[in-house]
């Protein structure tokens, strides 16, 4: 597990985007797992800049988003489909056929729908690089505390804390989604490489528990300790509750010397 510490949210966005860009340059047909949330906005801004100014080519890239709110139409301003279009997809040369986001308006057999999402990931050859944010309660995707570490794509009931965190995003009086479709922890752990980004003091405890605490379904990001190729990209505030920052910095220095390809 590598821990990269940067000054602020803008720097972590730029760092993560550079990492993604070098993965695409190494494999033009990269399968990329994508996340939403405020922390991701800078990543997409920088990827769009790299496309416009440095010809980063998305034409053969395939994407799978982690999750979507159940019940929100793709045109709802807070649907992840809409957010992704606005922030990223409409600004780069990605083939719309290669974009996959769970459909929040689907109805009928949810289990079959989720199994088909898993199958689509397998058909694409699996996710090469997965980007993650983290919730205040340590969730990744919408894998709320007590989610099985072996979980696959499914419907998940959102925790009260997540619903509260989301309230500010929705119009006053508007109904806030209670459920989401999300890749599972087991799905995420099958990605070849994982980047987790976190910014701000409100994430510091969740980040420290994920990196330095026990592996527990109470903090689902802690399951990333089971994965052999994870990089946490943190700003100073998000890293502030870690006890071994000096060690992580030395690990990075040695990694740059010995196995630089791990740094992206
Ligand atoms: C939602 C998403 C997560 C994301 C989290 C953090 O809960 N499902 O994937 O990590 O938001 O969002 P933010 O970056 O806005 O704090």
Is the shortest distance between the CB of 13 and ligand 1 below 6 Å? no
- Catalytic residue check, 103: no
What number does the ligand 1 atom closest to the CA of 134 have? 10
Give me the mean pLDDT over the 61-84 stretch.
Answer: 96
What number does the ligand 1 atom closest to the CA of 35 have? 9
Average pLDDT value over all residues in the chain = 97
- Catalytic residue check, 137: yes
Percent of the chain topping pLDDT 90: 94
Q: Ligand 1 centroid vs 210 CA: distance in angstroms?
A: 15
Is the shortest distance between the CB of 20 and ligand 1 below 6 Å? no
Query: Tens of pLDDT along 236-247?
Result: 999 999 999 999
In DSSP notation, the chain reads -EEEEESSHHHHHHHHHHHHHHHHHH-TT-EEEE--SGGGHHHHHHHHHHHHHH----TT-EEEESEEETT--TTSTTSHHHHHHHHTGGGS---GGGEE---TT--S-HHHHHHHHHHHHHHTT--SEEEE---TTS-BTTB-TT--TT--SEEEEPPHHHHHHHHTTSPTTPPPP-EEEE--HHHHHTSSEEEEEE-SGGGHHHHHHHHHS--BTTBGGGGGGG-SSEEEEEETTTTTT-S-HHHHHHHHHHHHHH-GGGG-
Is the shortest distance between the CB of 98 and ligand 1 below 6 Å? no
Please list, in sequence order, all residues whose beta carbon lies within 8 angstroms of the beta carbon of residue 218, skipping any fewer than 6 positions away: 138, 145, 146
- How far apart are the C-alpha atoms of 89 and 44, rounded to whole Å? 9
pLDDT of amino acid 264:
85
Per-residue pLDDT band at 63 (split at 50, 70, 90): very high
Is the shortest distance between the CB of 202 and ligand 1 below 6 Å? no
Give me the residue label for tokens 């898993």.
118
Is the pLDDT score of 18 beyond 90?
yes
Name the residue with the closest Cα to ligand 1, atom 10.
133
Q: Ligand 1 centroid vs 194 CA: distance in angstroms?
A: 16
What number does the ligand 1 atom closest to the CA of 203 have? 16
Higher per-residue confidence, 174 vs 4:
4
Q: Ligand 1 centroid vs 152 CA: distance in angstroms?
A: 18
Q: Which of 31-35, 61-65, 159-163, 229-233 has the lowest mean pLDDT?
A: 159-163
Q: Are the beta carbons of 116 and 80 closer than 8 angstroms?
A: no
Name the residue with the closest Cα to ligand 1, atom 3.
141
List the catalytic residue out of 65, 87, 98, 137: 137
Give me the mean pLDDT over the 97-105 stretch.
Answer: 97
Q: What angle do CA 36, 41, 43 make, to 5 degrees?
A: 100
Q: Which two tokens stand for residue 238?
A: 């998000």
pLDDT of amino acid 168:
86
Give me the mean pLDDT over the 195-214 stretch.
Answer: 98
| Torsion, CA 222, CA 228, CA 229, CA 232, rounded to 10 | 20
Q: Ligand 1 centroid vs 258 CA: distance in angstroms?
A: 33
- How far apart are the C-alpha atoms of 81 and 103, rounded to whole Å? 8
pLDDT of amino acid 247:
98
pLDDT of amino acid 155:
97
Is the shortest distance between the CB of 133 and ligand 1 below 6 Å? yes
Q: Ligand 1 centroid vs 135 CA: distance in angstroms?
A: 5
Give me the mean pLDDT over the 14-33 stretch.
Answer: 98
pLDDT of amino acid 173:
87
What number does the ligand 1 atom closest to the CA of 40 have? 14
List the catalytic residue out of 15, 51, 76, 139: 139
Give me the mean pLDDT over the 164-178 stretch.
Answer: 89
């Amino acid at each position: 597990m590598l821990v990269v510490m940067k000054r602020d949210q803008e720097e972590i966005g730029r760092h993560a985007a550079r990492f993604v860009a070098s993965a695409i340059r190494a494999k033009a047909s990269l399968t990329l797992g994508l996340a939403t949330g405020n922390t991701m906005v800078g990543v997409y801004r920088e990827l769009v800049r790299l496309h416009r100014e440095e010809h980063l080519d998305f034409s053969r890239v395939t994407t799978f988003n982690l999750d979507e709110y159940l019940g929100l139409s793709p045109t709802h301003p807070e649907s992840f489909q809409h957010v992704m279009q606005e922030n990223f997809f409409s600004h780069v040369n990605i083939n719309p056929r290669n974009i996959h986001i769970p459909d929040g308006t689907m109805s009928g057999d949810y289990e079959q729908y989720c199994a088909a999402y898993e199958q689509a990931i397998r058909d694409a050859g699996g996710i090469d690089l997965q980007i993650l944010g983290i919730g205040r309660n340590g969730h990744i995707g919408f894998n709320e505390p007590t989610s099985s570490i072996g979980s696959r794509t499914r419907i998940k009931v959102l925790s009260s804390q997540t619903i509260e965190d989301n309230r500010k995003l929705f119009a006053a009086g508007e109904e806030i989604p209670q459920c989401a479709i999300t890749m599972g922890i087991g799905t995420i752990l099958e990605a070849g490489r994982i980047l987790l980004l976190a910014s701000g003091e409100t994430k510091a405890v969740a980040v420290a528990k994920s990196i330095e605490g026990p592996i527990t379904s109470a903090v689902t990001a802690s399951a990333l300790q089971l994965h052999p190729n994870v990089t946490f990209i943190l700003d100073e505030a998000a890293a502030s509750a870690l006890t071994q920052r000096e060690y992580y910095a030395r690990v990075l220095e040695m990694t740059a010397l010995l196995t630089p390809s791990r740094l992206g």
